Amino acid sequence: MKKFYIRLPRSRYEGILLLVALIAFHATVNAQSDTARVSRDAVPVSTSENSAGKIITVTGKVISGADNQPLPNVSVFVKGTTSGTMTNANGTFSFAAQSGSVLEFSAAGYETKTLTVRDGVLNVTLSAGKKMDEVVVVGYGTQRKKDLTSAISTISAEKMAGRPVQNTESLLQGQVAGLTVTSNGGEPGDNGKVRIRGVGTFGNNNPLYIVDGIPVNNGLNFLNPGDIESIQVLKDAAAAAIYGNRAANGVIYVTTKKGRSGKRQISLDAYYGTATNGKTRRMANAQEYFDYVKIKNMDGPLSSLYNKGYNTDWVDAITRTGTTQNYNLSIRGGNEDHNYFTSVNYSKVLGTQLKSDNERLTARLNSSNKLFDWFKVSEDLAISNEKRHSYNIYGSARNVPAIAPIYKTPDEIAALPITERNLNQYFDVLEALNILNNPVAQTARNNGTNNYLSLYGNVQGEIDFGQIVGILKGLKFTSTLGFERIDNDYHSFSPVYRLGSRDYSIKTGVGDNFSKYMHWTFNNFATYSKKINKHSFDLTAGMVAEEERSNYFNASASTGLSNDPYLQVLDAQTLDRNNGGSAYQYNYVSYVGRANYNYNDRYLLQASIRRDGSYRFAPGKRWGTFPSVGLGWRVSNENFFKDLKASWISDLKLRGSWGQLGNEKIQANYPYLSQIAGTVNRGYVLGGVGGDNSSKVFVQGYGPTNAPNPDLTWETTSSTNIGADLGLFNNTVRLAVDYFSRHTTGVLYQKTLPLYSGIPASDGIAPVTQWVNGAEIKNHGLDVTASYNNNFGKLYLDLGANISFYKASVSKLNDNIPIQVSDERIPTIIQMREGDPLGAFYGYVVDGFYNTTAELTNKFGNERQQGAQVGDFRFKDQDGNDVIDGKDKKVIGNPNPKFTYSFNVNLAYAGFDLKSFWTGSYGNDIYSIGDIYLSGWDENNPQNIWADVVANSWTPEHTNAIYPKVSPGGTKRNFEKGPVTTSIQNGSFLRLKNLQMGYTLPDNILRKSGISNIRVYVSAENVFVLTKYKGDDPEIANGARLNANEGGQANSPSYIMGLDYGDRYPTQKSITAGLSIQF
């Protein structure tokens, strides 16, 4: 037998080219088979030729029975199959189907209608009022929406269309009640932070992401938004419990586009736009800054620089007009037995900050093939290559005073060798001001590049035993093997340069980091469906096995040779060579069971159980069992309800659920084992007897680095959900209300151990911690979603709104020891005690200012507030002892909103459409740490300040001030004592997130062109924001540079919100023009 070989790609670019070639080949083969099938139907078919079973091309138009206007986006499918299409903007459709097959026409707000194919033309009229027959994805299966007993929300592709964003997480914002998405600014490639129903743990609060049934562990950044068919958000335990150990924070399930039976459809989507910075707070100009330093008596050393007349806007100096572009090509088609979908997408975003950009190329290929009546196989493969320059120097640009210039003088630049001017033409800010570096020069020297290659795929086989043995009808077995592979390499180069006597480098430096992540999943499930009279049963049982592997390697070196591009590699660097690496492997195994029961479409029961095993825990603690149950009552189907003759109520369902979920996502793979390491602090110097240093030898020592806990086990979340679904006026009005309560016990976190524990810190400084199940968190709230859609003549109106209330608090802590979170300079920003809101700000209440010297002394003749001076903040004496100390601190702010909300108003008329989407938050506080760092926190530091500091600082004539007195000397103005109420601001906001206007060309223009649909549009993102917050954008994901102590925790715990340092990458405002074409 002749042998053949396949050579795997050697580079990421080869891999992409290979996949593109496969896509092209795949599309060509399927296109040829489509042509073979459709070409014979392109000829007008006579009645005599339309015998049952013949493939014909069915065309037609769908109109509204209320006004005879065409209906777009109507689903037209062969009943009981996935073969079908959608009507275009003019209500027309065309696809291949068998004569005699039954077509089902459905659209939001309209009754579903079925018609039998007799000839090639079908014109359909739909009446208002649609039954809730949509199918939604649930864990390892699908279910009719009307049969749900749990809290699941769906986002369709149409809701996300036309948004000029590169990552999928941003598209989720505001779409679902209880789902919040925030970011730390507008940096290209930023994923944002996603939370479902608030925060429920001290550790990882990210939801579980699933794409086409396969969990993905690194977010959705690899995913082309144009490939998404729909997104389901599983919010309660009954919906998510079947996913067990990783779904305690909810599940986001993405279904990508698949092939459809019918005429091949080619879609081309493209947009291009520009971006500018959104809301930012102004820094002091040269005059405002110099007025400030004169008060501080620091104007002497700075006068000569100020007198040169520079007034540099450093933020503007590092800012440009950003651009965004996106091009997406997709092809889909097939027949009832074989279908396919392929796509290629290219997107590039240039950020508004210099040296920040993100470029991505993605491709997808999937198909489904019914090889036999009883066996179907499908596969899905996606690849993404991403190149990112991630650089945020916004904070440094804000800190440099406006009196400093960007560049040296022209004469100084001319005196430089031509080859050195590019990097050395900048003014040495460090030399002139003794602080900071020139941010424009830093940007010019930045050469860090991140490259990501992501590969995702799955292959699935399904056996229908009912097609083999009739008595087994309804029994199916599905096996799915999925994988996720992410390679990341980071390369950086630091050049030789000299700006002056302070800011220079005599060495070049090269750094290379490489990481490889591999995750595979193997799912095996049997399902059985049976209907006996009025009783319907659906049973599911199976197992899931997963494995994660990760490898990391880094190397760095330096030399003084040259900035030559050919020498920017490790081999060319001969000094300071260092390298390191790490690796881990992690396994899961789970067993799953679920039963659904439906009696006469009235009484619904769903129960599931999952048993999970995790190697993060010691033997005997590895297994957890997580059950759930849900009940539903479709009241509107009861005979007594029909007798009420309340015809305006189209649908009414009551539902309730309870379930438990496990969580073991912590930043430690083997916390039950004692681990050792060798560091410099654990080494010994031996020899050197008699002062002979030449005989000294360093001997590496090893010691424990952690306190193991063999009793560590699962963190468990118990969740209750009570809800109601209501449809009014033929379901043109929809309302869903859910009350939820979550109680998390055995919360995993790191407890700080006392020094007498006997375990030294690895660096001799950091406290030793131990992972424990040591806290409880309670979270409860209310989700409300409402929608209305209807036609009024030629006008189509679509309104939607959602609002979510929640409260999260710490109900129990280990030994009742508070968890304290500190900044690098400010002690105890957050202190969580039993009963406090999660992540609450903790500090002093400002009770005015010390206006006289007498006020500084208490009734005992002692200093009332240590270090305070006239003009400083006066803190409120909470315990009444006339002494201000740590006992006078209290909770002074809550970053958790009282509620979040969003709403949309969409209009369509005669081909024109106008869409607006709004998001908002109410009742959340922001701690503006920038008020400390950028208002003269350190009197000896000549950095820049907010523009309003001098005008709003205390003076004897201006005691009703915002900021303390600006005075000479080294006082830190009481800011170093911790958060104060004057820096806690209202973070509520309302944002016009997206505004879009489009026009779809009429059918009579396109009829002879071979084009089925053309839409042109203009879209604006982050149009404006209404807020009382004085800082930058009020939408803040979380703080950074934080360290938790007492209760432990990792740096920057994920429950921290609402901290604004004033150095976030600004939110981007963009406007784009786009074009969508379907052939």
The one-letter amino acid at 555? A
Cβ contact 773:713 at 8 Å: yes
Is residue 1008 scored above 80 in pLDDT?
A: no
CA angle centred on 512, ends 509 and 515, rounded to 5°? 160
- The pairing of strands 623-634 and 603-614 is antiparallel
Is residue 469 scored above 50 in pLDDT?
A: yes
Q: What is the 3-state secondary structure (H, E, C) of 963-993?
A: ECCCCCCCCCCCHHHCCEHHHEEECCEEEEE
Q: What is the DSSP letter of 138?
A: E
The one-letter amino acid at 392? N
Query: Which residue would you say has higher pLDDT here, 51 or 901?
Result: 901
Domains belonging to the chain, first-starting first, are 47-130 (2.60.40.1120), 135-259 (2.170.130.10), 677-707 (no CATH)
Supply the pLDDT for residue 108: 60
d(CA 484, CA 223): 12
d(CA 1022, CA 1043): 33
Cα–Cα distances (Å) from 82 to 334, 612, 947, 992, 1028, in that order, read 11, 34, 61, 37, 51
d(CA 37, CA 31): 10
d(CA 259, CA 263): 11
Cβ contact 1073:272 at 8 Å: yes
29 CB-contact burial (10 Å; exposed 0-12 / middle 13-18 / buried 19+): exposed
Cα 81 from chain centroid?
A: 34
Model confidence band, residue 765 (pLDDT cutoffs 50, 70, 90): low
CA angle centred on 143, ends 141 and 146, rounded to 5°? 165
d(CA 624, CA 613): 7
d(CA 848, CA 98): 81
Token duo for residue 620: 């005997």
Q: What is the DSSP letter of 497?
A: E
Cβ contact 536:597 at 8 Å: yes
- The pairing of strands 208-211 and 251-256 is parallel
Q: What does the radius of gyration of the chain's CA atoms come to, in whole angstroms? A: 32
Token duo for residue 513: 């980091």
How large a percentage of the chain has pLDDT more than 90?
A: 42
- Average pLDDT of 270-296? 91
pLDDT, one tens digit per residue, over 796-822 is 899 999 999 989 899 988 777 888 777
Closest CA to 650 of 131, 48, 108: 131
d(CA 630, CA 148): 9
Token duo for residue 409: 């003088």
Supply the pLDDT for residue 613: 86
d(CA 661, CA 139): 14
Is residue 205 scored above 90 in pLDDT?
A: no
Question: Phi and psi at residue 976, in whole multiples of 5°?
Answer: -70, -10
| DSSP secondary structure letters along 432-453 | HHSS---HHHHHHH---EEEEE
Model confidence band, residue 1038 (pLDDT cutoffs 50, 70, 90): low
Supply the pLDDT for residue 350: 94
d(CA 198, CA 235): 11
Cβ contact 759:790 at 8 Å: no
Supply the pLDDT for residue 745: 93
Is residue 1047 scored above 70 in pLDDT?
A: no
Is residue 557 scored above 80 in pLDDT?
A: yes
Supply the pLDDT for residue 1049: 42
d(CA 578, CA 446): 21
Helix/strand/coil for 289:
helix
Is residue 1 scored above 50 in pLDDT?
A: no
pLDDT, one tens digit per residue, over 105-159 is 887 657 778 888 877 788 888 876 544 456 777 777 777 777 788 888 888 877 7
Cβ contact 437:429 at 8 Å: yes
Supply the pLDDT for residue 134: 67
CA angle centred on 742, ends 739 and 747, rounded to 5°? 165
Q: Is the dihedral of CA 1018, 1021, 1026, 1032 positive or negative?
A: negative
Helix/strand/coil for 62:
strand
Residue 174 region by backbone torsions, left for phi larger than 0, else alpha for psi between -120 and 50, else beta: left
Is residue 695 scored above 60 in pLDDT?
A: yes
d(CA 300, CA 293): 9
Cα–Cα distances (Å) from 8 to 11, 18, 381, in that order, read 9, 9, 16
The one-letter amino acid at 791? N
pLDDT, one tens digit per residue, over 881-924 is 999 888 899 999 999 999 999 999 999 988 899 999 999 999 99
Is residue 969 scored above 70 in pLDDT?
A: no
- The pairing of strands 55-64 and 121-126 is parallel
Helix/strand/coil for 14:
helix
d(CA 910, CA 545): 53
Query: What b-and-e string marks burial along 204-235, b requiring 16 or more CB atoms within 10 Å of the CB?
Result: bbbbbbbbbbbbbbbbbbbbbbbbbebbbbbb
Is residue 264 scored above 90 in pLDDT?
A: no
Supply the pLDDT for residue 66: 61
Residues in the chain: 1079
- Beta partners for residue 810, in sequence order: 777
d(CA 698, CA 695): 10
CA angle centred on 1017, ends 1011 and 1018, rounded to 5°? 160
d(CA 502, CA 523): 61
d(CA 84, CA 74): 11
Model confidence band, residue 974 (pLDDT cutoffs 50, 70, 90): low
Is residue 369 scored above 80 in pLDDT?
A: yes
Cβ contact 240:209 at 8 Å: no
Closest CA to 628 of 144, 255, 254, 247: 247
Is residue 271 scored above 80 in pLDDT?
A: yes
d(CA 1013, CA 914): 18
Q: What is the DSSP letter of 566?
A: G
The one-letter amino acid at 637? N
CA angle centred on 493, ends 492 and 495, rounded to 5°? 155
Q: Which of 202-206, 695-699, 759-763 has the lowest mean pLDDT?
A: 759-763
Supply the pLDDT for residue 737: 96
d(CA 182, CA 921): 11
Residues with Cβ < 8 Å from 443, sequence gap 6 or more? 318, 354, 355, 391, 393
Mean pLDDT of the chain: 84
Cβ contact 512:573 at 8 Å: no
Q: Which of 257-261, 465-469, 612-616, 939-943 has the lowest mean pLDDT?
A: 939-943
> pTM score, two decimals?
0.84
Cα–Cα distances (Å) from 684 to 101, 679, 694, in that order, read 84, 10, 15
Supply the pLDDT for residue 583: 87
The CB density around residue 157, as the number of other CB atoms within 10 Å, is 16
Model confidence band, residue 1051 (pLDDT cutoffs 50, 70, 90): very low
| DSSP secondary structure letters along 344-389 | EEEEEEE-SBTT-EEEEEEEEEEEEEEEETTEEEEEEEEEEEEEEE
Is residue 956 scored above 70 in pLDDT?
A: yes
CA contacts within 13 A on the Cβ side of 695: 6
Highest mean pLDDT among 54-68, 285-299, 448-462: 448-462
Supply the pLDDT for residue 128: 63
Token duo for residue 306: 């100020």
Residues with Cβ < 8 Å from 861, sequence gap 6 or more? none
Supply the pLDDT for residue 94: 81
Supply the pLDDT for residue 263: 77
